[in-house]
Amino acid sequence: MRSLLFVPGDDERKIAKGLASAADALILDLEDAVAPQRKAAARELCAATLASGNARMKLFVRINALDTPAALLDLAAVVKARPFGIMLPKCRSGEDARLVSHYLTALEARDGLPASDIRILPIVTETGGSMFGLGSYDNPPIPRLYGMLWGGEDLAADLGAITNRDEDGRYAAPYLLARSLCLFAAAASSAIAVDAVYTNFRDPAGLKQEAIAGLRSGFSAKAAIHPDQISVINEAFTPTAADIEAAQQVIAAFDASPGAGVVSVGGKMLDRPHYRTAQRVLARAAGA
**Is residue 194 predicted with pLDDT exceeding 90?**
yes
Instruction: Tell me what pLDDT residue 185 has.
Output: 98
Instruction: Tell me what pLDDT residue 216 has.
Output: 95
Instruction: Tell me what pLDDT residue 286 has.
Output: 87
**Is residue 125 predicted with pLDDT exceeding 90?**
yes
The model's pLDDT over 65-112, given as tens digits with 9 standing for 90+, comes to 999 999 999 999 999 999 999 999 999 999 999 999 999 999 999 999
Region 37-60 average pLDDT:
95
**Is residue 54 predicted with pLDDT exceeding 90?**
no
Region 29-51 average pLDDT:
97
Give the global pTM. Answer: 0.93
Region 133-160 average pLDDT:
96
Q: Which CATH class is domain 3-237?
A: alpha beta
**Is residue 8 predicted with pLDDT exceeding 90?**
yes
Give span(s): CATH 3.20.20.60, the chain.
3-237
**Is residue 259 predicted with pLDDT exceeding 90?**
no
Out of 191-195, 198-202, 265-269, least confident range: 265-269
Reduce the secondary structure of the chain to three states and give it as a string.
CCEEEEEECCCHHHHHHHHCCCCCEEEEECCCCCCHHHHHHHHHHHHHHHHHCCCCCEEEEECCCCCCCHHHHHHHHHHHHCCCEEEECCCCCHHHHHHHHHHHHHHHHHCCCCCCCCEEEEECCCCCHHHHHCCCCCCCCCCCECEEECCCHHHHHHHCCCCCECCCCCECHHHHHHHHHHHHHHHHCCCEEEECCCCCCCCHHHHHHHHHHHHHHCCCEEEECCHHHHHHHHHHHCCCHHHHHHHHHHHHHHHHCCCCCEEEECCEEEEHHHHHHHHHHHHHHHHC
Instruction: Tell me what pLDDT residue 130 has.
Output: 98
Instruction: Tell me what pLDDT residue 266 has.
Output: 86
**Is residue 49 predicted with pLDDT exceeding 90?**
yes
**Is residue 64 predicted with pLDDT exceeding 90?**
yes
